[in-house]
Structure 1
Amino acid sequence: MSVFSDNIRFLRHKKSLSQQSIADNLGISRVRYAKYEDGRSEPPFDVLLNISKYFSISIDLMLTLDLRKYPLEDIIKLPDNRIVLPILVDESGENKIEIIPHKASMGYLEGYSDPEYIESLQHMSLPFLRNGKYRAFPVGGDSMPPYNDRTFIIGKYVESKDDLKVGKTYLFITREGMTYKRYVGKDENGTLVSADNSFYSPYEIEWSSVMEIWEYECSVNRDELGLWNFGQPDIQGMFLSLKKDIQILKDQLNSNDKK
């Protein structure tokens, strides 16, 4: 509980409060509260919850993150009392954008709420991205051209599903993985998304599986794309179009057989 002890001591000094005033608000003795600050005793859950509410800081944050490292006013709280997203800045004051590496993209699903994991990531800064929390995610496949397997999408954290805008693209971090798609609409159960590649059909992502949502801000591509197939047939497009036509034909044949 050493992190917790350091945090409540830091918060008390930052707010210019006395141990007695905090203890009075918590309904405990000053001596008992002092033991929590000194690390000589651990608070039971009900007291821990009251301390969290008193300082308006989530329990996850109180127990796992050294609050002295981050400006409290720049911390974005996540729903359901989960861990927070601290907005980090470098020595020049630029917003740090954490980079999720391609090889460790699945590891993000386990470490996204672990402050030590996030702090271990490489980062970059872009001077035109200042207001908000940004993160760079690897994307691939052929569902969202022109982004290929060496592209990073830089997303801005979306605090509420109500902030989603029809027609814009988002990175949805779900329990199954990451998906970059265009937002179509939502209902009480989930959100309907679609790929820009017309071969892929729209589908619904259940809200219960969504852990984070990041709105597209810009992209970084490590490949030189040039002019796509300039003066040449679009072989991939022809193939996908043919594949789609075959699927439509199969669906029609199956429908006729049922009749």
Structure 2
Amino acid sequence: MSFFGKNIRKIRSVKTLSQQAFAELFDLKRGTLGAYEEGRSEPKIETIITIANYFSIPIDDLLTRELTVNELLKFKSSLTEQFEVVATERFPSIPCITDTNASDYVQFCEKESFIQDMVSLALPVESEAELRGYVIQSLEMSNQDQGLFPKDLVIGERVKLTKLDKLRRGEMVLVVTKSQLILRRLYVQGDVLVLKADHKNVQEITINRTDVCELWRIIAVFQKRVPEVTNGIEEKLLKLEEEFAKLRGRI
């Protein structure tokens, strides 16, 4: 059995390289590199030679035994000096669901090879959970001139399906079923999930828990447009109108 996959994964860890950065260094696809690391595919001899030479590692050692961290620290490469100076900070790489791959995501979201080949974004989002990006495609989460619009981007962290009851009522989530992607506000009612849009003319959706394949709690929003600065007058007028409506209802 070749130790190539384990060793390159350990090299990446020692050199603090993401799969994408390592793959680009040797003109590989991220999914191809992932297949090497997981032992699902064997590299070409040219690839083995290139990687071994770059890190000054004997080819025999790279293939026939699991290298230790101490050994890897002793091997030299121009990458070490380069990244020690330049890559002082690294944002997480977040696979992103777009207009182009949304329909495929519904079918293949459970396949690791598909996720690895998705377009990824490096964004300043902190979370210990798995993250997923989603490009807004409709006006369902808009409310007049507020809210989310097409081409805005939301970032969600994965929520275990057994933990849905711990989410706050009305929390914004991205729900993945076997047939669709739904971005709404979540209300859990027993075995039923009620998903409500912010747009007043969009009807709510009701689905069973068992229909949910994935659920992502929205933790960050990146808007395509620049928000306008207001003096708060419109908001105050709206509150006054609400108060007048309440008074009229009491008369």
The alignment's TM-score, normalised by the length of structure 2, stands at 0.51
The amino acid of 1:218's aligned partner reads: A
Cα separation, 2, equivalents of 1:65 and 1:182? 40
Identity %: 16
Aligned partner of 1:207 among 209, 213, 218:
209
Aligned ranges for residues 143-154 of structure 1 at < 5 Å? 143-145=140-142, 146-154=147-155
* Structure 1 position 180 matched with structure 2 position 183: yes
1:6 is displaced (CA, Å) by 7.0
**Residue 119 (structure 2) pairs with residue 122 (structure 1):** yes
Distance 2:36 2:153 in 1: 27
1:192 partner amino acid:
V
1:42-65 CA-partner distances (Å, limit 9, x unpaired): xxxxxxxxxxxxxxxxxxxxxx89
Distance of 2:171 and 2:209 partners within structure 1: 18
Give the residue type in structure 2 aligned to 1:124.
L
Aligned-partner SS, 1:107: helix
Deviating above 4 A after TM superposition, structure 1's stretches of 4 or more consecutive aligned residues are 64-68
Amino acid at match of 1:155: G
> Comparing both chains, which one has the higher relative contact order based on Cα–Cα distances under 8 Å and sequence gaps of 6 or more?
2
Using the size of structure 1 for normalisation, the TM-score is: 0.50
List per-residue Cα deviations over 1:70-94 (Å, max 9, x = no partner): xxxxxxxxxxxxxxxxxxxxx7554
Cα distance in 2 for partners of 1:124, 1:115 equals 17
Give the distance between the partners of 1:122 and 1:142, measured in 2 at CA: 23
Q: Note if 1:102 corresponds to 2:99.
A: yes
How do 1:1-259 residues align onto structure 2 when only pairs under 5 Å count?
66-67=37-38, 92-145=89-142, 146-160=147-161, 161-188=164-191, 190-224=192-226, 226=228
Compute the displacement of 1:120 (Å): 1.1
Contact 1:175 1:211 in 2 (8 A): yes
Q: State the SS of the aligned residue for 2:203.
A: coil
**Letter of the aligned partner of 1:170 in structure 2?**
V
Structure 2 portions without partners, runs of 5+: 11-34, 40-86, 234-251
